[in-house]
Amino acid sequence: MTWLSITIAGILTYFTRMTMIALVRRDLLGEKIKAVLAYVPSAVFPAIIFPAIFINDYGAYIEMSDPKIFGALVAIIVGYFSRNVIATIFSGLLSYWIIIFVFLS
């Protein structure tokens, strides 16, 4: 039963990937829609970023003093100026670790 569910979930997922690339002709999308699509990264990724920072493992909002908020702010500043993915991720993790291991322990 679980195997069947995984297979169906896999087929569904593949369809979400394939439909717009292989089945829908680009010409069907008007110029206006194409202009809006330029915002896709900005319109999708915050829905992954925000809950991962502001909501904890138990589905509750975190405190404003949570180290994740500080880590995310450091990552934003470092990322903005360095334009470097590794520096962004690492600075965020490091500042988060410094708070939880040095200040909160």
Partner 1 sequence: MLSKKELFSRGMFDIAPHMLSVIPFGIICGAIGVDLGFNPYLVYAMSIIIFGGASQIVFLQLLSGGASSLVAVTSVGVINSRHLLYGAVLSEYLEKLSFIRKLLISYVVVDQGFAESNKFFKKNKTEQFLHYHLLGTGITMWVCWQIATLSGIILGSFVPEELGLKFAIPLTFIAIVVQDLKKIDHVIVMLVCGISSLLFFEAPFKSYILISPVIALFVAALLLRLKK
Please report, as ranges, the residues that interact with partner 1 according to CB under 8 A: 1-10, 12-14, 16-22, 24, 26, 29, 32, 34-55, 59, 61, 68, 71-72, 75-76, 79-80, 83-86, 88-90, 92-93, 96-97, 100
Locate 6 and state its tokens.
Answer: 């995984």
Q: Shortest approach of partner 1 to residue 81 CB, angstroms?
A: 10
How near is the Cβ of 74 to partner 1 at its closest, in Å? 10
Q: What is the Cα–Cα distance from 102 to 95, expressed in whole angstroms?
A: 10
Q: How many CB atoms within 10 Å of residue 95?
A: 19
Shortest separation between residue 28's beta carbon and partner 1, angstroms: 10
